Amino acid sequence: MAHALPPLPYPKEALEPSIDAATMEIHHDRHHKAYVDNLNKALTGNAALEAKTLEALLGDLASVPDNIRGPVRNNGGGHWNHTFFWNLMGHGKGGSPTGDLATALTATFGSLDAFKEKFEAAGLGRFGSGWVWLVVNAGRLEIVSTPNQDNPLMGKSVSGVEGKPILACDVWEHAYYLKYQNKRADYLKAWWNVVDWSKAAALYAAAH
Ligand code: MN3
């Protein structure tokens, strides 16, 4: 069964002004679509891999033949990461986390502001293209970052990181260049205005 591009879970202008509608349209309709199309193209003709879920595929890249492992890693990662990213924005937009996640963020990083500062620094510190993540690893919250379209599902041996994702921010230039140009730091700061903390809290509740 071919992988499909999910619709954005809200209108493309829903995250204005922090993320503009034109960026959302190009990012979802062209970039994300290309990852899905190229993943399907890479898997064509391999019935066993075509039958796997995206999570199963990314969690066992070693079983993917050498000649398509790169395309599956990049485009499968791109598909999963963007689907996750869209779903972690919108709804109640911004504000502060509540409940167990808020307690754990404060316990781990000292305060919500200290957490945000560290997360932004990890996003700024990612040279070139990639992602910054909040994960639960062995019961503990951690901030990690990955290059390109790698993610924690791929495991430490592939992506250098592991754990269950709670939050992710895309720091590829295509995620912010139209509005912010080279100012990644401004994009990262504005991004907090559109985070859906209720989704992050639900992921955290399920992950620890
Ligand atoms: Mn992107």
Start-to-end Cα distance in the chain: 32
In this predicted model, what pLDDT tens digit does every residue of 120-159 receive, in sequence order? 999 999 999 999 999 999 999 999 999 999 999 999 999 9
Q: Which CATH fold would you assign to the domain 21-87? A: Helix Hairpins (1.10.287)
| Cα-to-centroid distance, 176 and ligand 1 (Å) | 9
Q: Which CATH fold would you assign to the domain 99-206? A: minor pseudopilin epsh fold (3.55.40)
For range 10-26, the mean pLDDT? 98
Report the helix count and the strand count for the chain, using DSSP H and E.
Answer: 12, 3
Beta-bridge partners for 167 = 134
Domain ranges of the chain: 21-87, 99-206
In this predicted model, what pLDDT tens digit does every residue of 169-189 receive, in sequence order? 999 999 999 999 999 999 999
Q: Which pTM value belongs to this model? A: 0.97
CA 117 – CA 195 distance, rounded (Å): 15
| Cα-to-centroid distance, 129 and ligand 1 (Å) | 9
| Cα-to-centroid distance, 171 and ligand 1 (Å) | 7
